[in-house]
Chains A and B, each alone.
Chain A
Amino acid sequence: MRDTTFKGALSDRTARTFMGVLFGATLLVTLLNQIFPPDSALHVSAYTVTLLGKYLCYALLALALDLVWGYCGILSLGHGAFFALGGYAMGMYLMRQIGDRGVYGNPELPDFMVFLNWQELPWYWHGFDQFWFAALMILLVPGLLAFVFGWLAFRSRVTGVYLSIITQALTYALMLAFFRNELGFGGNNGLTDFKDLLGFSLQSDATRVGLLIATAVALASAFVLCRWITGSKLGRVVLAVRDAESRARFVGYRTEHYKLWVFTVSAILAGLAGALYVPQVGIINPGEFSPLNSIELVVWVAVGGRATLYGAVIGAILVNYGKTVFTGVMPEAWLFALGGLFVAVTVFLPQGIVGLVSQHWERLRKRFVKTGDTDDTPAAQGEHS
C-alpha cells in the first residue's frame, strides 16, 4: 500500500520519475542557453526557453483541470477564468513595477488610466505594488471565486452538463466584463508593456531562464501536491463521488463539500499557472477568458489521458507543441485540427495517449510472457496436430 503522507507522495516512484524528467529537461535547456554562445549550433534561443516555460504553465493548468475532471468528474469548461484571474493579478503587479517608465511617465497611474483621464488609482489596485500582496491575490482571487461559485453550484446539486454550461457562462461573463474600459483592467488591450519582475528585467535571458525554472518548480510541487491529495483518503472519497455520488452520500460523506474542496484547490493551481504565464508572454488580455481557451484545455487533458496527472501534463505539452508547429505551417486550419483531434481521441482513445501506451505495454508484455511457455501458444498447437 502507498504511503499516504505528504512525505510519501514526495518519494513515490511516479512523482520521482516525473520530477526527474521535468528537472532534467529544464536543466538541459538552461545549460544550453547559458553556456553556449548564440552562434553555436548547440545554443538554445531565449525564444525556445520562453516557449518551454509557456508549455509548462499550460501543463500546470492541465494538471489543475485533471484534478477536478479526471478524479472528481466535474467537467469544468471555465477553468481558463481562474488562469486569467491569476494572470491579471500578476499583470497588475507588473504594471505597478513600470512606475514612471511608461509612455506618459506618470509614476502613479498605469498608461491606460492616464489615457482614459483617470485621476487616481482605483481602490482595488492598491497593494499591487507589493509582490507579497500580489502573490497572495494570485492564489486568493481564483480560490475565492471558485469557492463561492462552487458553493452555490454544488449545494444546489448542479451536476453534469449543466455544471459545464454554467462554468462556461462564468468565463464568458468575465470576458465581457474585462473587455470594458470602465472596469479598470485595461479593456481589450489588457495589461502589457511590462518592464521587470522583482527588479529583474523581463527582457534578459537570465530572467527568462529563471522564470522557466520557477515554472518547473511550481509544476513539480503541484504534481506532488496532487499525488498526495489523490493518494489520501480524501482522494478515494473524491473518486467515489465521481463513480457513485449518491452511494457516497449514503455512506455519510457530504459530497458537495468534497467537490467544493477539490474545485477550489484546482482553481488556485490554475491561478498560479496564469501568474507564471503572464511575465513569460508579456501580456494579459480578456482573450484569456475566452470560452475557447477553456475548451482547448479540456482537449489537452483528454488527449493526454484523464485521472493520471502526468497524462494531463503530457497532453498539454504535446498539443501545444503541435499547435506551435501547425500554426506556423497552416494557421487557419488549426481549429479544425483541434476539433478533429478531440473527436478522434473521444472515439478511439477514451483513455488518451497514456491509456494507449499502457495498453500496448500490457499486450506486449503478455505476448512476451506467452511465447516463453511453448505449449499454450496457438502456433505450437498447430505444429502438434
Chain B
Amino acid sequence: MSALDNLRETFRRDQVFDFMRQGTRVVAPGQLDSGAGKNILYLEDITVSFDGFKALNDLTMYIKTGELRCIIGPNGAGKSTMMDVITGKTRPDSGTCFFGQTLDLTRLSETEIATAGIGRKFQKPTVFPEHTAFENLELAMNDAKGTWHSLFTRMSGEQKSWIEETLAQVGLLDDRHKVAGLLSHGQKQWLEIGMVLMQKPQLLLVDEPIAGMTRQEVERTGELLQSLAGKHSVVVVEHDMEFIRSIASTVTVLHQGSVLAEGTMDQVQNDPKVIEVYLGE
C-alpha cells in the first residue's frame, strides 16, 4: 500500500482511525462514545456474498444519533442481511461496520454487540408464553444473569418502576399481570419491543413490526416507534409504504444490496430510479 493510500485510508472515514479501534473491548451501555452526537452507526462499503450471490454490494449508510430511519426495498434487496451484519450474525466479506466512534462490530460476538447497546426485535414475536408481561420484562432486564444471583436477587424498587415505565411506554401497563401467551399478536410485538428496551439499547433494530396487525395496532406501533426516537436511534425495516410515510423522517431504499436512494418520503417517491425498480410496479 502506497503512502498515498495510507493517507487516504486515514482521512476516508470520518473520525474513526485505525489506532483508535478498541478491538473487542465492550463498552457498557450508556458509555458509548458516539462522537459529538452525530452518527451512531457507520456502514461502509459492506459486501456480503452467499455462493457468489451478492446479498450486499458496497453498501454505505450512516445512522444519525436519535434518528428514526426506515429501510425499504423489494425482496432480496439485502435488508435482513444488513441487520445480520449489524448484530454480528453474519460477517461481511469486506467493508467496515462501526458502532459509535470506536466499536468495530465486525470483530465482536453477537452477545457482545447486544451488551454494547444494539437491540434487535425479530420479525416473529417470541415471548415467554407462560410468564406475565411483567415477568417477561423482568427476565429481559439488563442485570446480572448468573444462577446464584438469580436465586438470591430481589427486585429493587428502582427496577420495578423501570419495568412499569417500560410497560406504560409499550402500552401494556393494564395487562401487566396477563400471561404473555394470552396477549394479542400486536401486544406480543409491543411486549417484545419492551423486552428489547429493557436491555437499554442505544440502537434499536426493528424487523417488520406491523406484520399482521390491525389498523389501530398499526397506529399505536407508529406512535410507539416515534416516541422511542430521540432517546434511542431506531432503524425500522418495513414493506408497508403507508406506515413508513406516517412515521419516517428519512427513508433509505435498498436495491440489489446497495443504497438506491435516500431522503424524505417525498424525495424518494419522486426519484425516477426508485419509481423504476420499486414504486413503479
Contacts and interface: CB of A to CB of B under 8 A. Distances in A.
B154 interface: yes
Contacts of A101: none
A284 to B, nearest CB: 32
Interface in B109-135: 111, 114-115, 126-131, 135
A229 B114 CA distance: 28
A251 B195 contact: yes
Nearest to B198: A251
Contacts of B8: none
Contacts of B152: 232
A252 B128 contact: no
A241 B221 CA distance: 29
Interface string A211-225: 000000000000000
A35 B39 CA distance: 84
Contacts of A261: 147
Nearest to B144: A252
Given A240-B139, A252-B115, A253-B145, A232 B150 contact: yes
B238 interface: no
B173 to A, nearest CB: 15
A17 to B, nearest CB: 23
B111 A252 contact: yes
A174 interface: no
A154 interface: no
A254 interface: yes
Given A233-B138, A251-B140, A240 B154 contact: no
B151 A243 contact: no
Contact of A5 (B111, B126, B150, B154): B154
Given A239-B130, A247-B126, A229 B151 contact: yes
B280 interface: no
B153 A233 contact: yes
Given A252-B111, A252-B114, A257 B147 contact: yes
A232 B139 CA distance: 12
Given A239-B130, A240-B131, A243-B128, A234 B154 contact: no
B195 A244 contact: no
Interface in A175-230: 229
B146 interface: yes
A238 B145 CA distance: 12
A243 B138 contact: no
A5 B151 CA distance: 9
Contacts of A236: 131, 135, 138-139
Contact of A4 (B111, B129, B145, B154): B154
For the side of the interface on A, what is the size category?
20 to 34
A23 interface: no
B208 to A, nearest CB: 18
B130 A243 contact: yes
Contacts of A240: 128, 131, 139
B86 to A, nearest CB: 15
A237 B144 CA distance: 12
A237 B136 CA distance: 10
A135 interface: no
Nearest to A236: B135
Contacts of B151: 229, 232-234
Contacts of B139: 233, 236-237, 240, 248, 251, 253
Interface in A67-125: none
A254 B128 contact: no
Contacts of A247: 126-128
A258 interface: yes
A100 B111 CA distance: 63
B111 A233 contact: no
Interface string A245-264: 00110111110011001000
A143 to B, nearest CB: 15
A234 B195 CA distance: 18
Nearest to A253: B145
Nearest to B128: A240
Contacts of A251: 139-140, 195, 199
A229 B138 CA distance: 17
A248 B136 CA distance: 10
Nearest to A260: B147
A232 B138 CA distance: 12
A176 to B, nearest CB: 34
A235 to B, nearest CB: 9
A240 B139 CA distance: 8
Interface string B147-189: 1001111110000000000000000000000000000000000
A321 to B, nearest CB: 31
Nearest to B151: A234
Nearest to B195: A251
A239 B111 contact: no
Contacts of B138: 233, 236
A257 B126 contact: no
Contacts of B145: 252-254
A13 to B, nearest CB: 18
B151 to A, nearest CB: 4
Contact of A239 (B131, B195, B199): B131
A237 B139 CA distance: 7
A60 to B, nearest CB: 21
A213 B137 CA distance: 43
Nearest to B150: A234
Contacts of A248: 128, 139
Contact of B128 (A232, A233, A244, A258): A244
Which of A229, A234, A248 has the most CB atoms of chain B within a 10 A radius of its CB? A234
A258 B147 contact: yes
Shortest beta-carbon contacts, A-B, top 3: A234-B150, A234-B151, A233-B150
30 contacts: A5-B154, A229-B151, A232-B150, A232-B152, A232-B153, A233-B151, A233-B153, A234-B147, A236-B131, A237-B139, A239-B130, A239-B131, A240-B128, A240-B139, A243-B131, A244-B127, A244-B129, A247-B126, A247-B128, A248-B139, A250-B114, A251-B140, A251-B195, A252-B111, A252-B114, A252-B115, A253-B139, A254-B146, A257-B146, A258-B147
